[in-house]
Amino acid sequence: MPIKDNDISQDLELFVKESIAAGMPFAIHGGGSKDFYGNPVDAGPLDVTAHSGIVSYDPTELCITVRAGTPLNELESLLAEHQQVLPFEPPQYTDKATIGGAIATGISGPRRAYSGSVRDAILGVQIINGEGEIVNFGGQVMKNVAGYDLSRLIVRSLGTLGLILNVSIRVIPKPERDLSLSFEASQEDALAFFQDLRLKLLPVTATLWKDGKVYIRFSASEKILQSTQQKMASEHKLDEASVTDDFWQNIRDHKDDFFTLSDKPLWRLSLPPTSDNIVRINDPQLIEWGGAQRWVNSNAPANIIHSIASSRGGYATAFKRRQAGCAVFPVLEPNLLHLHRQLKRKMDPHNLFNPNRMYQGV
Amino acid sequence: MPLDLNTKNDLIFRLGEILPPASLITKEEDLKPYECDGLSAYQRLPVAAVLPDTIEQVQQIVKVCSQLQVPIVARGAGTGLSGGALPHEGGIILGLSRFNKILDVDLKSQTARVQPGVRNLAISEAARPFGLYYAPDPSSQIACSIGGNVAENAGGVHCLKYGLTVHNIQQIKIVTIDGELITLGSETLDTPGYDLLGLMTGSEGMLGIIVEIVVKLLPKPHAVSVLMASFDKVEDAGNAVAAIIAEGVIPAGLEMMDKPAIHAAEAFAKANYPLDAEAILLCELDGDAEQLAEQICLVDKTLLNARASNIVIAESAEEQAKLWAGRKSAFPAVGRISPDYYCMDGTIPRKQIAFVLQEISRLSEKFDLGVANVFHAGDGNLHPLILYDANKEGELEKAEQFGAEILELSVKVGGTITGEHGVGHEKIDQMCVQFSPAELTQFFAVKSAFDPMSLLNPGKAIPTLHRCAELGAMHVHNGELPHPEIPRF
Ligand SMILES: Cc1cc2nc3c(=O)[nH]c(=O)nc-3n(C[C@H](O)[C@H](O)[C@H](O)COP(=O)(O)OP(=O)(O)OC[C@H]3O[C@@H](n4cnc5c(N)ncnc54)[C@H](O)[C@@H]3O)c2cc1C
């Protein structure tokens, strides 16, 4: 199915200008698949899903420019036709998820630890700024240092600095084949294995530990995967049963039992990958990105979870099923928060875009 | 604007309270080394140069300057090619050369914590015993500082596969214009809030002073191979670049040189380059032995299909070093064949390489100035070196005009005026071509969030709308003046 080609930037520009005149902030949303991510916004909704389509795509340039409302699944299929993928493997928590939402939240999937994050892949953006003007930053080329890097700043700004119209993203060649293996390991052994792996030059594209098992995905040519499998088999007692094709997709999209069966709050811990195993809480954990991203379903008080993360040099987000009154993001140091507020005030002087979605005043 | 005498005396007195005499330079003859960076066509003396060696001193210096409203220009090694570290006539140079310590190299986390004045190459040298290295490798790596690399988002030969500076740093500490010390980024893969680490990278010393950096280190590849392909036509070489990428191979490096560059480099470095070729491509591939063999095969085939007339594969480390020596010494080599050269830095979509090179040779005839092309072809990052003689009346102006037209051409084909050298003082006028008034205003908004009085490297990188308007006559597009809203004088 071809991606719907629909440019509504003029309408959106008019809407923003009118909102400035009326002093009416708004809450931007795409497919709504990540509505839970951030503080509730006390403003009328602005749906940008209609702004969809491919602006330009030339596979040999390894770059695609796409309108923010384009559904991720359609974008993914188009790239697959040309043997390419998005390096950051963005989650599709629902089939409505859009590329604009992926950029605004900066949430990446399993491949992130091995081929970079959303911000690593961004080359340029077109936004409507705080004065209701359409402006472009960055571009479609791989290297660009003209002016401040506002395209990277837009990534994970949660729509608080401008309304994203188009993005140009670096894409990468899709490896010929994937091979996923699993073996039994304690959490401690898994972390040691991940640590070892970082110094090897194996074609890893995803790692995971849960329920006493390590899962690992390699992506390369048939021949290289064969020898990789042999290497792995000589060092670990690999499970006979193969890891199913949709395993990583279910992890990416939080459709795996770990994410769906619990009714406890879901926390995301972003830690230095070298951090040791967490024993202070008993709840089940799921580890990704070689130890850098850890998920836990837990009723433990927020301050305990935050201190587990910060004592290791990381931070925690109350991702889903938050307890009432629990903030999504950890508190920033006063100096840093001040800079955030300054930047927000300067880039969004009329306080239009998703007010307070990230922090009070940001 | 020069500093009035009262403020100047006050400034120097108060800096003297912070720094020992050897770290405070005020005599004209001692200030000479600071009057320009790598772009020596522009020179200016600062009021003073300070060489602190602790973060506390930097904080105090910034506070004093902030109180007296004295501009601060940070300086690393001064190898910048866009006049970024060019002094402000009423301001000070804040030199970071004494921050030259590698604080920690950690195998487990594969990181190094370094001070900003550390030389780029020194990091890889310190990491070598651990089997690690720091990937971004600007050609100036023996001299340039890591702080300067962060401030310019420097690239290098290996950035095609391993990314630019921004992809290879984890955390920095900055001193803000208020003298506060703030940590941006962390040892995790992301941090809460805005990506201020990304914003600081490439900000040319205009948002804060970088005083510490944690860089990522990579394991050394097991096997490396370098291919050199010769071409009878420059266009074929340009198209071969796009063809390799289209095959799904991302080489560790993919560099191109045209005939004048080949000849200059060969005379200088004796790299065994083919003197009859119109262009060569140097393609470095790496990985484990098996991955490498597969890639060599594919690239070899692609190059032949793209009409390479000859392909040499260097397997041994010595042969490889020899091939790279020519490329890495290309700038000084060109410096030998021409009294002066002017290095441009536009980036274009790869598919435009052949076309843009043709246009550059057309412009070369128009301006009657030679040009040698040596560049990061895989990224589409051009470095035309315009050959001129500063002692000949009007040649510098001609070279500048030639350069400006190349940059405008880069923008026209969908590229940018600078891929890695930064805007600095040099390309400030071309910013008016690439960005609209609304976009420039946005940049000023960001600047004022960090530096409301505009004391950090003022007047660089982002032109005022006024300046663009005055220039407007030079860039009349479709018969319209670009900034009709601004009054003209
Ligand atoms: C022969 C030659 C080859 C080169 N090759 C390359 C190349 O391949 N790739 C490439 O990217 N560049 C290259 N360059 C350009 C230059 O080396 C880079 O831009 C380098 O990053 C500059 O580092 P520096 O320490 O010399 O910075 P400087 O020239 O001292 O400063 C550059 C800018 O950074 C700011 N700055 C410096 N340190 C700090 C700090 N600690 N905090 C805040 N701001 C700071 C300065 O104010 C200035 O605006 C080359 C230059 C030469 C002369």
Over residues B176-225, the pLDDT tens digits come to 999 999 999 999 999 999 999 999 999 999 999 999 999 999 999 889 99
Distance CA A113, CA A83 (A): 21
Would you state the pLDDT for residue B479? Answer: 41
Q: Which chain B positions have a beta carbon within 8 Å of A345's beta carbon?
A: 449
User: Residue B78 corresponds to which tokens in the numbers above?
Assistant: 């001064």
Which chain B residues are within 8 Å of A119, Cβ to Cβ? 195, 198
For testing contact with chain A, the best of B152, B164, B171, B189 (most A CBs within 10 A)? B189
Interface of B with A in 437-476 (CB under 8 A): 438-439, 441-443, 445-450, 461-462
Condensed to tens digits (0 to 9), the pLDDT of residues B151-185 reads: 999 999 999 999 999 999 999 999 999 999 999 99
Q: How far is CA B208 from CA B73, B74, B454, in A?
A: 10, 9, 11
| pLDDT tens-digit map of B426-438 | 999 999 999 999 9
Instruction: Write down the residue that tokens 């071409």 correspond to.
Output: B231
Handedness of CA B407, B144, B225, A176 (dihedral sign): negative
Residue B445 is nearest to which of A117, A293, A346, comparing CB atoms?
A346
DSSP per position, B191-255: -SS--HHHHHTT-TTSS-EEEEEEEE-EEPPSEEEEEEEEESSHHHHHHHHHHHHHTT---SEEE
Res B181: pLDDT: 98
Q: B475 pLDDT exceeds 70?
A: no
Residue in B198, B419, B448 closest to A346 by CB: B448
Q: Is the ipTM of this complex over 0.90?
A: yes
3-state secondary structure of B444: helix
B380 vs A141: CB contact, 8 Å cut-off? yes
Q: Does the domain made of A9-173 have the CATH classification 3.90.76.10?
A: no
Query: Which CATH architecture does the domain made up of A177-252 adopt?
Result: 2-Layer Sandwich (3.30)
Distance B173 CA to ligand 1 centre (A): 18
The answer for B 178-207 residues in CB contact with A (under 8 A) is: 180, 182, 184, 186-196, 198-199, 201-203, 207
Q: Collect all residues of chain A within an 8 Å Cβ-Cβ radius of residue B431.
A: 146-147
Q: What's residue B248's pLDDT?
A: 85
Q: Does B245 touch chain A (CB under 8 A)?
A: yes
User: Among B43, B75, B92, B328, which residue has the most ligand 1 atoms within 8 Å of its CB, making it the best to mutate?
Assistant: B75
Taking the Cβ of residue A203 and every Cβ of chain B, the question of whether any pair is shorter than 8 Å is answered with yes
| CB distance B279 to ligand 1 below 6 Å | no
SS3 assignment, position B419: coil
Q: Is A32 on the interface with B (CB under 8 A)?
A: no
- What is the 8-class DSSP label of residue B88? P
Answer whether residue B485 shows pLDDT above 70. Answer: no
pLDDT of B477? 44
CA of A175 vs chain B CAs: smallest distance (Å): 8
Which domains are seen in chain B, by residue range?
Answer: 5-95 (3.30.43.10), 103-219 (3.30.465.10), 223-334 (3.30.70.2190), 340-346+363-371+390-471 (no CATH)
Predicted local confidence at residue A105, as pLDDT: 98
Residue B35 reports pLDDT greater than 50: yes
Nearest of A253, A256, A218 to residue A238 by alpha carbon: A218
Q: Which of A23, A27, A20 is nearest to A357 (CA)?
A: A27
Mutate to test the interface with B, among A142, A293, A305, A335 (most CBs of B within 10 A): A142
Ligand 1 atom, smallest distance to B154 CA: 11
pLDDT of residue B478: 41
Residues on chain A touching B436 (C-beta within 8 angstroms): 135
Q: Which pLDDT score is estimated for A102?
A: 98
Q: Which two tokens stand for residue A203?
A: 């074609």
Indicate the pTM of the whole model.
0.95
Residue A121 has pLDDT above 60, yes or no: yes
Domain ranges of chain A: 9-173, 177-252, 257-320
Whether B436 and A336 lie within 8 Å, measured CB to CB: no
Q: If you measure CA to CA, which chain A residue comes closest to B244? A: A60
Please check the confidence at residue A254 and state whether its pLDDT lies above 70. yes
Q: Whole-angstrom distance between the N-terminal and C-terminal Cα of chain A?
A: 39
- Residue B5 Cα, gap to closest chain A Cα (Å): 34
Contacts of B160 in chain A (CB under 8 A): 142
Q: Could you tell me the pLDDT band of residue B484, with boundaries at 50, 70 and 90?
A: very low
How remote is the CA of residue B148 from the centroid of ligand 1, in Å? 4
- From A62, A137, A336, residue closest to B439, measured CB to CB: A137
Interchain pair B347, A157: CB under 8 A? no
Average model confidence (pLDDT) for chain B? Answer: 93
Q: What is the pLDDT of residues B88-141, one digit of tens each?
A: 999 999 999 999 999 999 999 999 999 999 999 999 999 999 999 999 999 899
State which H helix or E strand residue B106 sits in.
strand B102-106
Q: What is the DSSP string of B307-376?
A: TEEEEEEE-SHHHHHHHHHHHHTHHHHHHHHSSEEEE---B--GGGHHHHHHHHHHHHHHHT--EEEEEB
Tell me whether A197 touches chain B (CB under 8 Å): no
